[in-house]
Amino acid sequence: MLNKLVIIAGFLWLFAIADAAAYTVEEAKVRAWIQPNGDVTVNEVFHYSFTEYEEEVGRTLYREGHSGVDDFEAYAITGSNDEPGFIQSADLTMLDYEYGDETVWTTVDGEYETIKVFYTYTLEDAVRVYEEYTDAYLPFFSDGSHHDEDMNELYIDVIFPGPVPPDQTEVFFPDRNGEITHQDESGVRFYTPSSPMFTNSEVRILFPSDVMTEANPVPAPMSLNEAVQDQEAIYAEADKNFEQQSAIGSAVKWFNIFLIIAIILSVILMFIMRKRASGHAENVMNFTPLAVLFGQNEKPKQSESLLAALYTLKEKGALTTGMNSDHLTFQKSGQSVPLTKSEQFLLDTLFKTHDEVTLNESLLQEFSSQHYAKWEKLAKKEFNAQFGPNKRPLLLLRILMGLMFVLLVINHLLENSHPAAIFIFVFVPGILFALTFKFTLNKWLWMIAIFLNIFTGIALTDIGLNLTFLTYGLTLAVLVFLVKPLSFNYKKPQLEDSILSFKYMLTTDDSFSITKDAIDPWMIRAIQMPVHGVDLKDYIHQDHQPLKAVPLTYLVAKGVHPYEMMGEKSV
């Protein structure tokens, strides 16, 4: 059920942001005549190149800064001349169109061909006429939502209502690929070879108001110098944001390379470690008694855990063993040895008021009732840290995914994306990412969240950043499938193979000798790994005398099981 919900959420998100058209704009020519009353008459010619059948094309008009769009018409150009202002009416065929919210949809029925469409319309009160100057701000293709198509070979001509000396005009064109190709008393021509969607190719011209003969000038909100400085500051900030984006894109690109190399090396190392660990049994004596116990049983009895923990401390040198009236005792050695948290907790708890404890039922009851749960939690955590799955690959994936969210938000903020749009972009993948903390290795959650983030990256206007985040996301997608194998801990199968090897050794007729110093450590592990039909007394020899010097072996020789001393039946 969860997988289905995730898939549905993913497709809803994709449908919300994806609106691919079957055509490209190969060339666009715009000519805008500023009228003496402040209106702007616009002629546009768009060359639409169709890659498959498309019934209609859309022209989204900007809505801010004017009183409305009037006299809109759309035509197909049938003649060779397509220069706005010089097209003959005989070369035009009227097309049907209808208004959407902001977009005018024109019926063209294009398929595998290039169709030239001529638009003509008037923007009422589109120019601000002030007493000191006139402000012609014409964002035909700014970084707003109305610039929703990539434009190639874009020309914009702005024609004044009368002669305006070039030295009395202030002209702004923030397009990074663009230039002002011509300027004289009659107007200004702007050109850019490429204007990707949502990038800023707006134009703004400040010029004297004496040519606006039919307008009523009003006091300017700021002086001409202030207006120029304000516009330059806006573009300077945009340039700064662009440089920051470029720096981020470059850093992420190199990080992608490093990450890909690191993943490849990790996979190679993983196969090497798996090959080394496969069928390779360590000497079981290299593992602590507690590790041997937990390696066989996730929930051992308390008596088993306590004995294994005490003998682990003995082998580390923190305790010594002895006999007191046929009872096994443990004493603090007085040596300073490095201990884990669980070992230190056990030592502090059992030897809080005295330096010796006797292994009996009262010791187990005292420890069980007050401290066992806390000790077991610490001990299991330490065991899992040593023998459990490696958590670093999953942690790395989470960090990289979180970093992707942060970088996407930063880049959209630098592009001045609307906060609501940013929220929509990150909300669904953010929810899916949050769910991965509950469903840790659910690949559907991870993959849908990553691919939604990829589309969020593609929504950025910078093509280089699109490819960078695409690479980043695909790298994370690969890492999702590698988390589990990269988390493989070769120590756990080595421990399991060592236990099996030890048990197999006990079932064979092979003879071997155990020194007196090694008999007690060997015996505690043999007790933990019982084999049916094997009598541990058979491994006790004359060389081990006196047996009281090896207390655990002494108890086995007498037929006393250490678990029975704590009131539990032996295994």
Q: Summarize pLDDT for 66-115 with one digit per residue, the tens.
A: 888 999 999 999 999 999 999 999 999 999 999 877 788 999 988 878 99
Residue 429 has pLDDT above 60, yes or no: yes
Cα gap 250→167, rounded to integer Å:
40
As a whole number, mean pLDDT of residues 519-534 equals 88
What residue type is assigned to position 403 of the chain?
Answer: L
What per-residue confidence (pLDDT) applies to 279?
55
Give CA 186 to chain center in angstroms. Answer: 53
Cα gap 529→506, rounded to integer Å:
10
Q: How does DSSP classify residue 82? A: -
**Please, which pLDDT band fits residue 314 given cuts at 50, 70 and 90?**
very high
Most confident of 15-29, 34-48, 194-208, 396-410: 34-48
CA proximity to 422, closest of 411, 432, 433: 411
**Please, which pLDDT band fits residue 341 given cuts at 50, 70 and 90?**
very high
Cα gap 381→452, rounded to integer Å:
36
Q: How does DSSP classify residue 285? A: G
Q: Are 43 and 119 in contact (CB under 8 A)?
A: yes
Average pLDDT in the chain = 86
What per-residue confidence (pLDDT) applies to 28?
95
Residue 12 has pLDDT above 50, yes or no: no
Token reading at 189: 């021509």
Rounded to 10 deg, the angle between the 372-387 and 289-296 helix axes is 90
Q: Could you tell me whether strands 68-77 and 92-94 are parallel, antiparallel, or unpaired per DSSP bridges? A: antiparallel
Q: Can you point out the beta strands (E) in 340-400?
A: 356-358
Residue 281 has pLDDT above 70, yes or no: no
276 or 404, which is more confident? 404
What per-residue confidence (pLDDT) applies to 554?
87
Using alpha carbons, list the distances in angstroms from residue 549 to 322, 395, 519, 555.
7, 49, 11, 11
What per-residue confidence (pLDDT) applies to 3?
44
What per-residue confidence (pLDDT) applies to 7?
41
CA proximity to 120, closest of 101, 142, 95: 95
Most confident of 17-26, 83-92, 436-445, 557-566: 83-92
Q: Are 142 and 201 in contact (CB under 8 A)?
A: yes
The single residue listed with the structure tokens 């005792």 is 329
What per-residue confidence (pLDDT) applies to 557?
87
As a whole number, mean pLDDT of residues 115-124 equals 95
Cα gap 515→285, rounded to integer Å:
13
As a whole number, mean pLDDT of residues 238-258 equals 88
Token reading at 405: 């969210």
Cα gap 166→158, rounded to integer Å:
13
Residue 238 has pLDDT above 90, yes or no: no
Residue 232 has pLDDT above 70, yes or no: yes
Q: Can you point out the beta strands (E) in 333-400?
A: 356-358
| Cis status, amide bond into 546, omega within 30 of 0 | yes
**Please, which pLDDT band fits residue 1 given cuts at 50, 70 and 90?**
very low
Domain spans of the chain, in order of start: 2-221, 245-278+390-487, 284-384+496-566
178 or 425, which is more confident? 178
What per-residue confidence (pLDDT) applies to 533?
80
What per-residue confidence (pLDDT) applies to 182?
96
Residue 459 has pLDDT above 60, yes or no: yes
pTM value? 0.63
**Please, which pLDDT band fits residue 173 given cuts at 50, 70 and 90?**
very high
Q: Is the dihedral of CA 7, 11, 17, 21 positive or negative?
A: positive
Give the whole-number percent of the chain exceeding pLDDT 90.
37
| Neighbour tally for 43: CB within 10 Å | 19
DSSP string, 491-556: HHHHHHHHHHHHHHHHHS-------HHHHHHHHHHHHHS--TT--GGGG--GGG-SGGGSHHHHHH
Q: Could you tell me which CATH number the domain at 2-221 has? A: 2.60.40.1730
Residue 196 has pLDDT above 90, yes or no: no
CA proximity to 62, closest of 120, 102, 106, 118: 102
Q: Are 330 and 359 in contact (CB under 8 A)?
A: yes
As a whole number, mean pLDDT of residues 313-319 equals 92
- List Cβ<8 Å contacts ≥24 apart for 439-443: 439/2, 440/394, 441/394, 441/483, 441/484, 442/2, 442/3, 443/480, 443/481
Cα gap 179→411, rounded to integer Å:
26
What per-residue confidence (pLDDT) applies to 510?
67
Residue 194 has pLDDT above 80, yes or no: yes
Cα gap 557→568, rounded to integer Å:
19
What per-residue confidence (pLDDT) applies to 10?
46
Residue 8 has pLDDT above 70, yes or no: no
Q: Are 436 and 446 in contact (CB under 8 A)?
A: yes
φ/ψ (deg, to 5) at 532: -60, 130
419 three-class SS = helix
Phi/psi zone of residue 125: left (φ > 0), alpha (ψ -120 to 50 degrees), beta? left
As a whole number, mean pLDDT of residues 292-296 equals 90
> How open is the CA angle 439-443-448, to the nearest 5 degrees?
105
| Neighbour tally for 271: CB within 10 Å | 11
Residue 475 has pLDDT above 70, yes or no: yes
